[in-house]
Amino acid sequence: MAYVISSDCISCGACEPDCPVNAISQGDDQYVIDASLCIDCGACEATCPVGAPKPE
């Protein structure tokens, strides 16, 4: 099960460098997680200042 980034995302980018598989990238309005790459490690959730990444 992959993580998803909710609309709470403030596009700060704090999560992107912490993803060990580079599954996070800047989307049109906010950062997004590629579900096919996500390994469900939770690193993004631990880093996010607003708690936007959540398990799907």
Q: Tell me: the pLDDT tens digits for 11-53?
A: 999 999 999 999 999 999 999 999 999 999 999 999 999 999 9
Q: Which residues in 11-29 are b (16+ Cβ under 10 Å) and which e?
A: eeeebbeebeeebbeeeee
The structure tokens 């950062």 sit at: 31
- For the full predicted model, state whether its pTM sits above 0.75: yes
Q: What CATH number does residue 18 fall under?
A: 3.30.70.20
* Host domain of residue 34: 3-55
Cross-strand pairs, 25? 32
In total, how many domains does the chain have?
1
